[in-house]
Structures are given as C-alpha cells and as structure tokens.
C-alpha cells in the first residue's frame, strides 16, 4: 500500500450494491479493476460486493496525467492493456471523445459504458453488458 492511501480515500464516496458482485461475476467476462484504488479494490470494494477471489488490476504507469488530445487519462492505458482483446469498460468519467478514440484505435469489440456515480449500475446497464457480450462471443 502507498503510505497514507487509505486516509486519502476516506473522503471518496463509493456507492455499491451487494447484489452487483454476483451479477458481475456471472457475466461472460473476466472482470478487471481499472480504478485508481488499484490492488486495494480487492481489499476495500470486492468484499462489499461479495467477491471473494482477488480480481486482476490494471497497474497505471502514471495517474491523472493530462492527455494531449483531451482523452480521459485512463483511456490510452485501458486500450493498451486490452492489447486488441474485446473489453467492456464501466466508468463514470468516459466521454464521447473516449468512445470515438477507442472505436478508431481498438475497433468494434469494445464497449465503454458511462455510469452516474450517484446511482451506479442500473438494470439498463446490465442488459447492455449482456447484450454486448453476445456480439463478441
């Protein structure tokens, strides 16, 4: 753990539904944490979702750097991490610019799903995740 990282996160509100853990694990994907919580997501978020086994984590080379083209700072890293594999990315900060960039650089087998952090995943999101999985199976 980075020294003081837990203290820095105390003010960050995370809205979780325990029922989302089993739903996430039931999707035909390999879930991966793409969060600044990094490996602490397995310790602090996963238990609240009922996820017992640690999930893989994208290790960010640098955090919060400004992108020269205005992309969300995670976007290029997520695309590089996927290395051509299909992926669905759920985040509250992706924009239409990120969606276009991923479509142009990664191709059609990526789903960027923007959620409202105040409400989290809704039924329509779950439907979209299941529907999209059928397009890449």
CA distance 52 to 69: 39
Q: What is the pLDDT of residue 1?
A: 41
Residue 128: partners with Cβ closer than 8 Å, 6 or more residues away: 111, 113
Residue 131 three-state SS:
helix
What is the three-class DSSP state of 81? helix
Residue 115's SS3 state is coil
Predicted pLDDT at 108: 86
Please give the pLDDT value at position 74.
Answer: 97
Residue 95 in 3-state DSSP? coil
> Which pLDDT score is estimated for 118?
85
Half-sphere exposure at residue 95, Cβ-oriented, CA atoms within 13 angstroms: 7
pTM: 0.85
How much of the chain is helix, strand and coil, in % rounded to 5?
40, 10, 50
- Least Cα distance to 134 among 80, 78, 91, 88 occurs for 88
Which positions of the chain have pLDDT values less than 50? Answer: 1-10
């Amino acid at each position: 753990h980075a020294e003081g990282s837990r203290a820095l996160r105390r003010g960050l509100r995370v809205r979780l539904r325990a029922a989302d853990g089993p739903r996430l694990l039931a999707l035909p994907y390999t879930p991966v944490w793409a969060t600044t919580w990094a490996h602490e997501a397995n310790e602090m978020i996963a238990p609240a979702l009922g996820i017992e086994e640690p999930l893989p984590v994208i290790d960010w080379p640098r955090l919060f750097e400004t992108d020269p083209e205005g992309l969300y700072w995670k976007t290029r890293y997520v695309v590089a991490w996927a290395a051509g594999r299909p992926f669905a990315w759920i985040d509250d900060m992706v924009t239409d610019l990120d969606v276009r960039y991923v479509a142009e650089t990664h191709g059609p087998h990526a789903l960027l799903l923007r959620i409202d952090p105040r409400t989290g995943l809704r039924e329509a999101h779950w439907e979209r995740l299941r529907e999209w999985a059928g397009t890449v199976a």
